[in-house]
């Protein structure tokens, strides 16, 4: 029992070193996106490459492998160590999973994948700017082939897409995603048709110029209002909003200012704060182990969408925020009432670009990408036919057709990065959040009156106590069952959308 404890502590020590190196890498990436001098690009790439090699060595080298194999059988997954707690056994299972994934890919393949996707990003960027899908086709075919090989290396029992999805959403399968996405798609398409036949919303007051400097200063006020701690994080500007954490005491966020879309800044700050709150809520005592890490990209996204949509697009939140906005942006919202403002924030209108999509149509953008990349990986869709397939699905789901491939199948960076299996996590986050929210609402039936007063700490505490504190002890399905008592389902999200937008659009 004593030896098992000592062996476990030795494994924690080795794992922590790799995590610290990851944190340094994250800080370099944050610096690159926010304030790095332009001339430093080449040396920064070399710095990051060097760190990546060091991290991989720490996580797959003999010292780590030997320490792990003393506690768990790497082939069978059977726990060898005696006297460990249940959460420590769960951590061993996660360590083993990560180790097997990292060592299943030959070094030559890893290098080839890194080279091809690095080059693919440049080709994709040029193709998007020039609206020339044909110039990206050969590269895309190569990236798809590499992903098929990656799936084979990782292994799967049913479908190659399962192996890719598992990278971002452990234990989730294509079949399980389809089980929730198919009825969700039908529900949203029907709801969208009803909304389009209703009286449309005027959001013109939220589409006039709000000075960027004023928007940024209001953003700093907003972070303070909802309890984002500046002694553990900071808000900066970047071309694409993101959250970057190296430790629960250092979780940074960025936003993007669009002069004529002030709500975009507010939503991005709430979204990134949701990610940061998750990282800040992870148990410090388990830092460097799976018990101090987030569950999955889907669960992470549930936290950001929780704050951006369930709180940030609620009427109580805007009742609280409106007087602050009117005071800060003098004259911009004169004569605008709460109902007009809240409806403007929640306006539904099909659009071409995923990242600009409203709360109702967003999932359709994700489902479209999921269905297309499954088809590309299984070979039922030839890459050369991707633009036509994309446009057809846009017409079917959203009733609009891209005029160019740049606003169609070339709009996202993910496929050029080789990130097949990533897209579903965006929609899964909404579904997880809705399922969690049902329980939260039962435990805090007066949450709306508290939010109207600007009280948010109880929300963060609930999320930490129920989700953050567990780290990776449970995978997403297990966590949902633990918190809600129910298996994963899209029904809470469907019910939420239908009820909310039936009220807004008087359906």
List pLDDT tens digits, range 306-348. Answer: 999 999 999 999 999 999 999 999 999 998 999 999 999 999 9
Determine the distance from the C-alpha atom of residue 17 to the mean position of all C-alpha atoms in its chain, rounded to a whole number: 26
pLDDT of residue 372: 98
Low-confidence ranges of the chain (pLDDT < 70): 1-2
Sequence-separated (6 or more) residues with CB below 8 Å from residue 498: 187, 191
Task: Name the catalytic one among 22, 169, 176, 272.
Answer: 272
Angle between helices 424-443 and 491-504 (to 10 degrees): 80
pLDDT of residue 419: 96
Sequence-separated (6 or more) residues with CB below 8 Å from residue 303: 274, 275, 277, 278, 429, 433, 463, 467
pLDDT of residue 222: 98
CA–CA separation, 270 vs 255, rounded Å?
A: 10
pLDDT of residue 1: 46
Helix (H) or strand (E) holding 461: helix 457-466
Q: Which of 272, 227, 218, 280 is nearest to 450 (CA)?
A: 227
Q: Is 454 left (phi over 0), alpha (psi -120 to 50) or beta?
A: left
* Residue 57 in tokens: 């060595």
Contact 410, 352 (CB under 8 A): no
Burial class (CB in 10 A: 0-12, 13-18, 19+), 272: buried
Q: Work out the percent of the chain whose per-residue pLDDT is above 70.
A: 100
Q: What are the strands of the beta sheet with 250-255, ordered from one edge?
A: 235-237, 250-255, 243-247
Distances (CA, A) of 328 to 322, 331, 339, 507: 10, 9, 20, 35
**Active-site residue flag, 443:** no
Q: What is the pTM of this model?
A: 0.95
């Amino acid at each position: 029992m004593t030896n098992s404890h000592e062996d476990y502590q030795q494994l924690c020590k080795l794992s922590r070193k790799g995590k610290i190196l990851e944190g340094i890498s994250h800080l370099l990436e944050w610096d690159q996106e926010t304030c790095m001098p332009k001339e430093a690009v080449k040396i920064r790439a070399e710095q990051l490459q060097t760190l990546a090699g060091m991290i991989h060595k720490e996580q797959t080298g003999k010292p780590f492998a030997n320490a792990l194999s003393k506690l768990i059988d790497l082939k069978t997954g059977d726990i060898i160590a005696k006297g460990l707690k249940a959460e420590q056994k769960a951590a061993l299972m996660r360590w083993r999973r990560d180790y097997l994934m990292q060592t299943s890919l030959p070094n030559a393949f890893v290098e080839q994948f890194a080279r091809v996707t690095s080059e693919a990003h440049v080709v994709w960027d040029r193709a998007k700017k020039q609206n020339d899908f044909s110039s990206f086709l050969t590269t895309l075919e190569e990236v798809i082939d590499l992903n098929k090989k990656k799936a084979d290396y990782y292994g799967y029992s049913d479908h190659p897409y399962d192996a890719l999805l598992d990278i971002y959403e452990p234990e989730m399968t294509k079949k399980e995603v389809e089980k929730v996405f198919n009825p969700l798609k039908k529900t949203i398409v029907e709801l969208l048709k009803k909304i389009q036949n209703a009286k449309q919303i005027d959001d013109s007051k939220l589409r006039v110029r709000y000075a960027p400097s004023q928007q940024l200063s209001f953003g700093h006020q907003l972070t303070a209002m909802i309890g984002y701690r500046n002694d553990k994080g900071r808000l900066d500007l970047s071309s694409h909003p993101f959250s970057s954490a190296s430790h629960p005491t250092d979780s940074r966020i960025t936003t993007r200012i669009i002069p004529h879309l002030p709500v975009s800044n507010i939503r991005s700050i709430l979204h990134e704060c949701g990610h940061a709150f998750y990282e800040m809520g992870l148990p410090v005592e388990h830092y460097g182990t799976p018990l101090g890490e987030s569950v999955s990209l889907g669960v992470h996204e549930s936290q950001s969408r929780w704050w951006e949509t369930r709180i940030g697009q609620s009427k109580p939140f805007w009742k609280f925020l409106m007087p602050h906005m009117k005071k800060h942006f003098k004259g911009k919202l004169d004569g605008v009432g709460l109902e007009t403002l809240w409806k403007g924030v929640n306006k539904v209108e099909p659009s071409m670009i995923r990242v600009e999509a409203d709360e109702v149509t967003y999932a359709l953008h994700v489902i479209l990408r999921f269905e297309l990349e499954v088809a590309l990986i299984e070979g039922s869709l030839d890459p050369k036919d991707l633009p036509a397939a994309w446009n057809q699905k846009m017409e079917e789901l959203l009733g609009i057709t891209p005029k160019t491939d740049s606003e169609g199948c070339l709009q996202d960076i993910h496929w050029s990065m080789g990130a097949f299996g990533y897209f579903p996590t965006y929609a899964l986050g909404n579904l997880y959040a809705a399922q969690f929210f049902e329980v939260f609402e039962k435990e805090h039936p007066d949450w709306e009156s508290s939010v109207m007063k600007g009280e948010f700490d109880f929300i963060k505490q609930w999320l930490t106590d129920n989700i953050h504190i567990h780290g990776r002890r449970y995978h997403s399905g297990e966590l949902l069952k633990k918190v809600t008592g129910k298996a994963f389902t899209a029904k809470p999200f469907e019910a939420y959308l239908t009820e909310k937008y039936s009220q807004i659009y008087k359906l």
